[in-house]
Structure 1
């Protein structure tokens, strides 16, 4: 059967997924290449650890924007060129539906399992216990591949009293460490831990100025918010199992304040 290809259909299918419009317009090989390129680059960037950086995220957004624009333009041109197109077995509505369903499954799998499969997570900070390091509205990149936790790391973790809720705080002590707060200064194994120091304006209440020494159990971490007076942290619910840590916060990749965009979260 000879049937002309409609540019508008090629455009809409390309918007749904790069490559799908090419399948409709008669170039299966190019369609498959665009499909594999999209997810191949995503997988490669994730495994290289670049998606836990601000620059990697920006590059991915730019790459996908360019890929979609190219796919739409190319598919429309191909449809316009195929004025007398002989339908192939795959040019049936159920094949497009099956391909689109496959795309949805692959996309959903990568999105829902990005932490384990691609090594990164993206979150928005909703509250201010980590001010001034993190502020409400900051979008943060989280490295879920690095399993080596260190003093000073800012991490995302599951709140012990409700594991469906995620918190962001700073590690100030590891397993077998002795941690205390004296005159507002975090003391680690009897010595001041400068990485955990915060400005006096963020530690005015009694619980932020003094805390008796505690021993952190092996395999657990002790966490504090940088805004000590406004943080529900290990002072109240104890040390956290390392297994409840989702990942280490690496960058602010987007923020309401332009000057904060791209800031690296340091220990």
Structure 2
């Protein structure tokens, strides 16, 4: 069974908090009382005798830190690392991103139950979500289809409710990754009033079809259209699987470029 980070942090907070609380309410008064009796008889120094155990000292020190990290990651902002090229050119392998956790609603950690509704994904948002076929795995894709939409994908072009989403060719797409063939093309895609860049490979086979998006679900696609495992293959994403909206690259590390890619640090995610 996979144990995720929030579960570990919640367990650590409960354990350290319980130890600290028990010491404050039960063990510390008993130590002070015992130390006072011994100190009054001149047998041991009062301060030394009432000193808290090492385990309690560590629990007291780490509990507030653990709680702060848990609150930040569960309710505000969480960092993620991009492990694949499915969102090229928007995101690259080795990018480290920040995700807004509260924009789509505040959820309790571990059980992921929404307690405060803040808003809903908009078409074009780049979203981190739990993979429907294995919720222990996080995916990142772009929202293309909203609840109730009819999404078509034909000839590498998106249709929403029968309307073509226009694309403009920018030119050939080149990257240091030698796995890209020379037919890769960089395009600008318009999704309503939002636009972003995508990569397509005209010489490759593709998945085509039409999809009706149920209520409470979203259709996700990668910007690297011919190299993305997304809703075209495994279906829609339920609302309860949403983690948050990606909004910034805070670090980028590329081995083939010698380490840190400074010009990507702080780049907003469009």
- TM-score in terms of structure 1 length: 0.60
Q: How far apart are residue 184 of structure 1 and its match?
A: 1.3
Aligned residue for 2:134?
Answer: 162
Give the secondary structure class of the aligned counterpart of 2:99.
strand
Q: How far apart are residue 178 of structure 1 and its match?
A: 0.7
- Closer, same or farther: CA 93–183 of 1 in aligned 2, 3 Å: same
**Equivalent residues in 2 for 1:116-265 (5 A)?**
116-117=74-75, 119-147=76-104, 148-193=120-165, 194-195=190-191, 198-199=197-198, 201-202=200-201, 204-207=203-206, 211-256=208-253, 257-265=261-269
Structure 2: unaligned runs, 5 residues or longer: 1-44, 105-119, 166-189, 254-260
**Equivalent residues in 2 for 1:4-15 (5 A)?**
none
- Closer, same or farther: CA 138–248 of 1 in aligned 2, 3 Å: same
Q: Which 10-residue stretch deviates more, 173-182 or 94-103?
A: 94-103
Q: 2:58 aligns with which of 92, 100, 108?
A: 100
Work out the CA distance in 2 between the residues paired with 1:156 and 1:204. 30
Q: How far apart are residue 227 of structure 1 and its match?
A: 0.7
Structure 1: unaligned runs, 5 residues or longer: 1-86
Work out the CA distance in 2 between the residues paired with 1:259 and 1:166. 26
Q: Higher helix share goes to which structure?
A: 1
Q: Higher strand share goes to which structure?
A: 2
Work out the CA distance in 2 between the residues paired with 1:156 and 1:207. 24
Give the secondary structure class of the aligned counterpart of 2:132.
coil
Give the secondary structure class of the aligned counterpart of 2:248.
strand
Aligned length: 177
In the TM superposition, what whole-angstrom CA distance separates every residue of 1:147-202 from its partner, at most 9, and x where no partner exists?
12010111111111211111111100110001011221111111233137654545
In the TM superposition, what whole-angstrom CA distance separates every residue of 1:105-133 from its partner, at most 9, and x where no partner exists?
2322333453334x111011111111111
